[in-house]
Homo-oligomer: A and B are copies of this chain.
Amino acid sequence: MNKQLMYGTYAIGEAAIQAGCTCYFGYPITPQNELPEYMSRRLLEVPGGVFIQAESELAAINMVLGASVAGARVMTSSSSPGISLKQEGISFLAGSELPAVIVNIVRGGPGLGNIAPAQSDYFQATRGGGHGDYKTIVLAPASVQEMADLTFLAFDLSDQYRMPALILGDGMLGQIMEPVVIPARKKKKLPEKDYILTGARGRPARLVKSLILDTRQMEDHNWKLVRKFQRVKQNETRWESFLLEDAEMVVIAYGTAARIAKGSINRLKKEDPDIKIGMIRPITLSPFPEKIIRETAGKVSDFFVFEMSTGQMVEDVKLSLEGRGTVHFYGRPGGVSPTPAEVARIMARHYPQSKSTGKK
């Protein structure tokens, strides 16, 4: 497909269609309404395409469960309050080992909050806002192109590991248009869906559930999910690094915050070419790229975490480092998107004194 100027939400939608998604269930909420709207039009054109505007987010996530167990590639999307309502369903999907792609275009919170871009649902996404021991895959795009690319990835990973995959965007990424190329689907070899319900024709009846009354079996199931997630961690952890080689300080940020931070680094470099700031941008927030961060700690002592929240991912950075470096944090919650200039100012303040150049 050609390069197009596309909304982030449309890029997700079109990538989903190209990835073979035939079902979408959702409920309107700003700032992601353009995604269900797009799907309502596009799925009319897809053979067997199903679009339902559900009566609520609860209904939507459970329709997702139904379509998934029936074997379809299925997606839902919402924004913060709506995602809170889906937590029970996500826990059920994880417990029942069902694939599904769930998009959260995060807005300011808590409560009704506002509709500006925020990153305050990191904990909910990565720690399981739902009950029980489970993890999901969480992907964090930083551009419209990546919204498309990670949507393909989300469907594949979700099917491959039989677990829900979340795409954690924010109001900014949901609303902007950028040039994007929607690639054709590269068909990955994925395990056959031998668990789906089709009617017990010529085979024993199948059962998909999360109820396991026997505590020993339940424990086994829990550890199985842990092991599965460890495999995901081993094989699927993704990040982007930038100017890491000779960095004196490393910035860690994701999504829109990472774009801003990159702009800040470039600014500082322009002002002072000797300044050496690198960056690690987690692309998978869960599994978190802790290995690269820990490795970097051998060479760098200062880490600067920037989030559009009061500080959530910073815990994962600290858990990765386990005391092996100084962690500085800058947060702008509530829907504020600071300018690269502002973040650059704060970054410079934390740049290791002894190593700062020029002004020594």
Contact = CB atoms under 8 A, between A and B. Distances in A.
Given A95-B111, A109-B95, A129 B84 contact: yes
A95 B123 contact: no
Contact of A110 (B81, B134, B332): B134
A52 interface: no
A226 to B, nearest CB: 5
A169 to B, nearest CB: 14
B124 A95 contact: no
A112 interface: yes
Interface in A287-341: 309-310, 312, 315, 318-319, 321-324, 332-336
Contact of A215 (B83, B218, B321, B336): B336
Contact of A334 (B87, B88, B215, B335): B215
B226 A310 contact: yes
A217 to B, nearest CB: 8
- Counted per complex, copies of this chain come to 2
A131 B309 CA distance: 11
Contacts of A309: 133
B211 A87 contact: no
A114 interface: yes
Contact of A315 (B109, B214, B223, B319): B319
A260 interface: no
Contacts of A217: 334
Interface string A86-102: 01100110111000000
Scoring A88, A131, A321 by chain B CB atoms within 10 A of each residue's CB, the highest score goes to: A131
A273 interface: no
Nearest to A127: B123
A132 B116 contact: no
A131 B209 contact: no
- Among A127, A130, A132, A323, find the residue whose CB has the most chain B CB atoms closer than 10 A: A132
A109 B84 contact: no
A333 B128 contact: no
A158 interface: no
Contacts of A323: 321-324
Q: List the 4 closest A-B pairs by CB distance, nearest first.
A: A109-B132, A111-B210, A323-B323, A95-B111
Given A84-B130, A110-B128, A110-B210, 17 more contacts: A84-B88, A84-B91, A87-B129, A96-B111, A106-B131, A109-B132, A113-B131, A113-B212, A116-B218, A120-B133, A120-B222, A124-B128, A128-B129, A133-B309, A212-B334, A216-B334, A315-B315
